[in-house]
Structure 1
Amino acid sequence: MAIALNGPQGHFSGKIGNLVFYMLNGIPVVRRIGRVGKPSRAQLANHSSMSVTNKLLASMKGFIKLGYGLQAKGTPQNAHNLATSYHKKHALTGEYPNIKVDYSKVILSKGLVPVADDLKIVKTSTGLEISWNPTYEAKETRYDDIVMVMLCYPESDKGTEYLNIARREEGKCFIGLSEHHLQQQIEPYISFRSADGEKVSDSTYLGNINGEQERPEERNNREKYNQVSKRFDQVANIYHSQLKENDVDQLNSKAFRHLRKEYQVLKEKLERTPGKPG
């Protein structure tokens, strides 16, 4: 049941039939509820893309809030919605079910604050040293811009936010890391935010550190895919061999119907199982 909050001419709140009415950031919204059936491949791909995107953004909520919050002002969107939309469309690579993040295309902030020149990152025995050119030739002084750094660790789906690690005028910052973190795949990003918090720069990808390493989830997926693939090859050989024999009685037998069913189930499962080589 829906309720008319402001009389018969007002916006409804609640459910009417297959429609749901609610408020989103002060704006009345209505959406339709449909029946849930067996998902198509396109739907499965969309669900997978959303899952990968959500996992990416889960460890960087503070950064996203600052990096996309200004864009969201005055719209029905919020910072997380904008970040999700961008990364789902532009920062993923691969085909379902092997969809993953292209870290070089990740953007954690968007704005008009200028990015510093000569950005560099160096791995040392105790951490990461990031440097940049602190000077900025323009009418507006930027010496007190706040430096924000994000470190992503894809192997563990974790990350660390440094939302106020330095000022532009300092020209460098150092992030101490444990030996455990220093050995992992690291995907680093940097942004600059005005001291009053009203403006932000586009984020810059500082480049992969330690190469791309296989995550436990990816290893498990590869092992599962190989198991299914091996069984499918065995069943497919028997199935196609019996088809070639063209024995009518055999093709109409209960045993062959079971074989055909297993072949079809394994074929579909193989298409939906992540971990395919390449």
Structure 2
Amino acid sequence: MGIASNGPHGHLHGKVGNLVFYMLNGQPVVRLIGRKGKPSTLQLANYQEMAVTTKLLSNMGGFIKLGYGLQARGTVHNAHNLATSYHKKHALTGQYPNISIDYSKVILSQGQLPETADLKIEKLAGGVEISWDPKDDNVLKYNDSVMVMIFFPESGKDKEYLNIARRSEGKCFIPLNEQQLKEQMEPYISFIAADGEKVSDSRYLGNLNGKGLNEAEKQQQKKYEQVKTRFDQLEASYSKQMIANYGEKPKDKAFKYLEKEYQTLKKQLEHLPGKPG
């Protein structure tokens, strides 16, 4: 039941038919409810776009709050809404059902603080070092904080650093374990004023270690390895029986079943995706 708490001309609150009325960030909102039919390809694509975007932003709530919070002030939006909207529209690549992130288009903060020159990243023993021009002038201050975000798409164990250094230091070191140093890395850096009133656009520092396997490719590789393991077992048994029979095929049913499966898997492996290398 909908309730008109502000009179007959006010905004309703609650359910009326297949409509639900409620307040969102101080604004009256209405949405449609009911059973969904079979989704179209466009709807499925939209679902995947949202899922991929949500996964990207899931481990960086603090970074997004600082990176988009200034833009959200005085609007009905919040920082996460703005970040989701940007990345869904501009940072995705591919067509359904193979939509993925274009990491070169990811922007984790947007603001008026100018970008910093001479940004570099380097892999060292035990971690990565990020460096920049530490100059101090009327706009870029020595006490600006440095924020760093590193995505690890293969493992999903992303790292968020909201105050890892000061601009005046000119560099920072991020310790990583041996496995992380081998994984695909997508690093970003932003600068934020000490009082939090200005933030720079984030800068993409470039891919490290190349592109790893996405989830679909991992499943394909797993399937290939399972089929290859079974094929290797059959091949060993097939060869053993052929040798024992001096190159002639045994005429029993067991060998015929063995040969049929052996030939089927051999042909399957020729076209099955997921082959290493």
* TM-score interval, smaller chain: 0.7 to 0.9
Q: In structure 2, what residue type is equivalent to 1:198?
A: E
Give 3-state SS (helix, strand or coil) of 1:147's partner.
Answer: strand
Moved more, 53-62 or 28-37: 28-37
Instruction: Please list, as runs of the form range in 1=range in 2, the aligned pairs for 1:67-78 lying within 5 A after superposition.
Output: 67-78=67-78
Moved more, 38-47 or 19-28: 19-28
1:189 and 2:172 aligned: no
Instruction: Please list, as runs of the form range in 1=range in 2, the aligned pairs for 1:122-141 lying within 5 A after superposition.
Output: 122-137=122-137, 139-141=138-140
Q: Which residue of 2 aligns with 1:49?
A: 49
Contact map agreement 2:136 2:168 (CA 8 A) in 1: no
Note the C-alpha offset of 1:199. Answer: 1.3
Between the aligned partners of 2:34 and 2:106, the Cα distance in structure 1 is 33
Instruction: Please list, as runs of the form range in 1=range in 2, the aligned pairs for 1:136-155 lying within 5 A after superposition.
Output: 136-137=136-137, 139-155=138-154
Note the C-alpha offset of 1:7. Answer: 2.9
Gaps of 5+ in 2: 225-273
Between the aligned partners of 2:139 and 2:42, the Cα distance in structure 1 is 49
Assess, with a 3 A threshold, how the Cα gap between structure 1 residues 31 and 221 changes in structure 2: closer, same or farther.
farther
Between the aligned partners of 2:140 and 2:208, the Cα distance in structure 1 is 33
Q: Which residue of 1 aligns with 2:108?
A: 108
Between the aligned partners of 1:18 and 1:142, the Cα distance in structure 2 is 55
Between the aligned partners of 1:141 and 1:111, the Cα distance in structure 2 is 13
Root-mean-square deviation (CA), in Å? 1.9
Specify the structure having the higher radius of gyration (Cα).
Answer: 2
Assess, with a 3 A threshold, how the Cα gap between structure 1 residues 37 and 81 changes in structure 2: closer, same or farther.
same
Q: In structure 2, what residue type is equivalent to 1:30?
A: V
Between the aligned partners of 2:220 and 2:44, the Cα distance in structure 1 is 17
Between the aligned partners of 1:36 and 1:106, the Cα distance in structure 2 is 32
Give 3-state SS (helix, strand or coil) of 1:122's partner.
Answer: strand
Note the C-alpha offset of 1:10. Answer: 2.5
Gaps of 5+ in 1: 226-274
Between the aligned partners of 1:199 and 1:13, the Cα distance in structure 2 is 38
Between the aligned partners of 2:17 and 2:120, the Cα distance in structure 1 is 57
Between the aligned partners of 1:115 and 1:169, the Cα distance in structure 2 is 15
Give 3-state SS (helix, strand or coil) of 2:70's partner.
Answer: helix
1:168 and 2:173 aligned: no
Between the aligned partners of 2:13 and 2:143, the Cα distance in structure 1 is 47
Contact map agreement 2:15 2:21 (CA 8 A) in 1: yes
What are the superposed Cα offsets for residues 50-85 of structure 1, whole Å, 9 maximum, x if unpaired? 111111110111111111111111111111111111
Instruction: Please list, as runs of the form range in 1=range in 2, the aligned pairs for 1:33-44 lying within 5 A after superposition.
Output: 33-44=33-44
Between the aligned partners of 1:193 and 1:217, the Cα distance in structure 2 is 37
What are the superposed Cα offsets for residues 153-193 of structure 1, whole Å, 9 maximum, x if unpaired? 00022311000001111110001111121111110000000
Q: Which residue of 1 aligns with 2:204?
A: 205
Between the aligned partners of 1:96 and 1:141, the Cα distance in structure 2 is 43
Moved more, 155-164 or 25-34: 25-34
Assess, with a 3 A threshold, how the Cα gap between structure 1 residues 151 and 141 changes in structure 2: closer, same or farther.
closer
Between the aligned partners of 1:222 and 1:34, the Cα distance in structure 2 is 40
Q: In structure 1, what residue type is equivalent to 2:210?
A: G
Give 3-state SS (helix, strand or coil) of 1:158's partner.
Answer: coil
Between the aligned partners of 1:158 and 1:14, the Cα distance in structure 2 is 40
Note the C-alpha offset of 1:218. Answer: 3.0
Between the aligned partners of 1:51 and 1:224, the Cα distance in structure 2 is 24
| TM-score where L is the length of structure 1 | 0.77
Contact map agreement 1:156 1:215 (CA 8 A) in 2: no
Between the aligned partners of 1:34 and 1:198, the Cα distance in structure 2 is 44
Note the C-alpha offset of 1:216. Answer: 4.6
What are the superposed Cα offsets for residues 109-148 of structure 1, whole Å, 9 maximum, x if unpaired? 00001121000000011101000001144x3351111100
Between the aligned partners of 1:113 and 1:194, the Cα distance in structure 2 is 8
Between the aligned partners of 1:161 and 1:34, the Cα distance in structure 2 is 39
Note the C-alpha offset of 1:5. Answer: 2.6
The count of aligned residue pairs is 226
Moved more, 119-128 or 5-14: 5-14
Higher relative contact order (CA 8 A, sep 6+): 1
Q: Which residue of 2 aligns with 1:245?
A: none
